[in-house]
Amino acid sequence: MLRRGLLGLAAAGLAAPARAQAPFPNRPIRMVVPLPPGGATDIWARLVAEPMGASLGQPVVIENRAGAGGMIGTEAAKNAPPDGHTILFHIASFVQTPVVLRRWPYRVEDFAPLGKLGTTPLPFCVRADMPVTTLKDFVAYAKGRQLSYGTYSPGSSGHAFAQALSDLEGLDMTAVHYRGEAPMLQDVLGGRVDCAFHSMTGSGEQIRAGRIRPLATIGSMPIPSLPALPSFVSLGYPDYFGNSGFVGLFAPVQVPAPILARLAGAFRDAMAQPEVLRRLAEMDTIAQYLDPVAFGADVAAYLRFWQGLVDRLNLTAEG
């Protein structure tokens, strides 16, 4: 799964027709977001799409293709003509969902990394009317009760960490899977689901307003707007609760190298914009730009981490 695929790439290059490439881009660029509108991934994508379009001289248009934990949109991007006019904006479920579902409609090597945007803390939140204020309170409240937790897709961080919490504390919690964070958030707000892991980007406004209550967070860094919120690791949970994944941009690997470089440069320029960085900070997103080579290594390392975690938790899902 982690093979570099150099022979295949070399063969593809040798087989390419010897003709001049058309100017790039020569029409709007489609940025596939494999999750629904309104969630964190959609918000991040729209934030970088506008400055990328300005840099490239063509608009970058968001296309939400949700379903199967992000695999439908990802596969659609993989199968698009490799001319650089279709790119993929994705989060860690890029590798998470296929590992958990034991189904790979694409390989990591099918995509060339263009750059990392960063990461986001994932606070564990409960419905506002639950009579708890700390994670210790929640564990005591949950014991002997049947609770439900939402996930923004099967096999996602929210799924794995909620299952880990349930297993470690001996709780009886049932997963309710959604097609993205936005519909999950609505059900937590409405009290139809008891708890969930949320991104600050997609749910921060509701968290800060007290409509859902954060108890602890995934990740290794404090949440800027909630500095007193403890991390799971600081509360004595295993170190794997410190890894909150990645957010970044990809393109089909068959796209010619000069076009990949142009796309990567446009993303790099977008990530250097003060307005983009300001808005990311406002959303409690931790900007951690990485270039294509460093981001590729980051994705490969995360895949290894996730495979080990899924095996440890014996995590499975259908989708």
Tell me the backbone φ, ψ of residue 233, rounded to 5 degrees: -65, -40
Higher-confidence residue of 200 and 28: namely 28
Q: What's the domain range around 109? A: 25-119+244-313
Q: Last residue of some domain: 242, 264, 294?
A: 242
pLDDT tens column, 25-75: 999 999 999 988 988 899 999 999 999 999 999 999 999 998 887 889 999
Residue whose token pair is 């803390």? 121
Count of CB atoms situated within 10 Å of the CB of 83? 17
User: In total, how many domains does the chain have?
Assistant: 2
Task: Provide the CATH number for the domain around residue 250.
Answer: 3.40.190.150
- Write the pLDDT tens digit of every residue in 149-199: 999 877 788 999 999 999 999 999 999 998 888 899 999 999 999 999 998
Specify whether 272 is located in the same domain as 232.
no
Q: What is the largest CA-CA distance in the chain?
A: 69
One-letter amino acid at 263 equals: L
Number of H helices, E strands in the chain: 11, 11
Same domain, 91 and 101: yes
Q: Are residues 145 and 237 in the same domain?
A: yes
Please compute the mean of the pLDDT values over residues 207-228 and round it to a whole number: 92
Distance between CA atoms of residues 187 and 74, nearest Å: 26
Please tell me the predicted confidence (pLDDT) of residue 319. Answer: 52
Give this prediction's pTM.
0.85
Shared-domain flag, residues 211 and 264: no
> How many Cβ atoms from other residues are within 10 Å of residue 109's Cβ?
17
The answer on pLDDT for 14 being more than 90 is no
Contacts of 251 (CB under 8 A, 6+ apart): 84, 86, 87, 88, 111, 112, 114, 259, 260, 263
* pLDDT tier for residue 20 given thresholds of 50, 70 and 90: low
Whether residues 226 and 89 fall in one domain = no
Regarding whether 249 and 111 lie in a shared domain, the answer is yes
Look at residue 15 and tell me whether its pLDDT is greater than 50: no
**Within a domain: residue 183?**
yes
